[in-house]
Amino acid sequence: MAGKIVLGIIISLFVQSVCGCPERCQCNITRKEVSCMDSGLSEVPKAVPLNTEILNLQNNHIHTISNAAFIGMPQLQSLDLSNNFISNLSSNIFDGLHNLLHLNLANNSINYIENKILPSSGNLRKLDLSFNNLTSLPEGLFKNQNNLTWLAVHQNQLHQISRSLMDSLSNLQVLLIEKNQWKCDCHLTGLKLWLESFLYKGGQIDEILCTEPEDLRSKNLMKIPHELFQTCSSVKCKSSHVVSNHRSPTTQNLHHKVEHSHNPDCSPKAKQRSGSLRHAIATIVVTGVICGIVCLMMLVAAIYGCSYAAVMAKYQRELKKLDQLDQVDEQVNAEEKDQLGGSLA
């Protein structure tokens, strides 16, 4: 009898886990959807049915998410955590969601994320991290995310994104990155080159406006010539950026400001433009002088040629006159000889 009771309890718990609905949530069995939006929740609800494919936790008061929050949701395909108060995300928090396709974390207070938060299955297609406080995206964040086609990181505090990070998104089609704190210095050159290739392949982006430096503020990154960016040849410039990705958000921001304020290699070459202008003017002046000298030499050569031609023409005329005189003399001599011969006869 006791065994039957235990079995009944187990069966009822299993049925509840499959067909039950969390408190303050609404469940649609047909669509396999659980909607808990605007429910005043402070954490991810428990007892979500095992076969749930859509979980909507939008507009709640969730501050933190435990590592076990999504265990037991193997079929989940769409997860909406937007409009909450989440500040950070730890590694492997979504790793058990092997079928996850859409992840919405927009409009939270996220300022730091680990590089292993996304499901390792690589099935994710759409990721929304917009309207947060992210200052950087860690290297390796998109590792094995070859199926991601839509990414939004607009309305954050991003200064730059490395090209190597974006290179891992081989199938990306839409990228939304406007309204960040883009610092258009040498480190953004890689992203600019990647974006140019991305657009050439048919990708879609929004407008990217610089916030720094002062002379490039509000300028569209895609319209700034590459000549305005220095090549990041400084080891210090590169290594500092890599180290800063592993610091806490507060330390990272402070390090970022100190690093760039003392490193001239990480600034746009405004002075180089003046030097280039002077160099260009000097080149034009030298070229003009050389051209003037060449033209003068050509003029002298032309005058000399004309003078020589005139002298030679005069000489030929004199020779012709001398020939004519010689012919006249010969004729006179011949006539005199004829007359002399006649008189003798």
pLDDT tens-digit series, residues 257-271: 444 444 444 444 444
**Helix, strand, coil share of the chain (percent; to 5):** 45, 10, 45
CATH superfamily of 86-268: Ribonuclease Inhibitor (3.80.10.10)
Q: What is the pLDDT of residue 344?
A: 61
Burial class, 182, CB count within 10 angstroms (exposed 0-12 / middle 13-18 / buried 19+): buried
Which amino acid is present at 11? I
Q: Where are the domains of the chain?
A: 86-268, 272-329
pTM higher than 0.75: no
Q: Give the pLDDT of the chain (345 residues) as one tens digit per residue.
A: 444 443 433 333 344 444 579 999 999 999 999 999 999 999 999 889 999 999 999 999 999 998 889 988 999 999 999 999 999 888 889 988 999 999 999 999 999 998 889 998 889 999 999 999 999 999 999 998 999 999 999 999 999 999 999 999 999 999 999 999 999 888 888 999 999 999 999 999 999 999 988 888 999 999 988 877 755 654 444 444 444 444 444 444 444 444 444 444 444 444 444 445 666 788 888 888 898 899 889 999 989 888 888 888 888 888 888 887 877 777 777 777 777 666 665
Residues in a beta bridge with 113:
89
Collapse the DSSP code of 56 into the 3-class scheme (helix H, G, I; strand E, B; otherwise coil) and give the result: strand
Q: What is the pLDDT of residue 278?
A: 63
Q: What is the pLDDT of residue 67?
A: 87
Q: What is the pLDDT of residue 262?
A: 43
Q: What is the pLDDT of residue 43?
A: 93
Q: Could you give the CA distance from residue 69 to residue 61 in angstroms, rounded to a whole number?
A: 15
Largest CA distance in the chain: 184
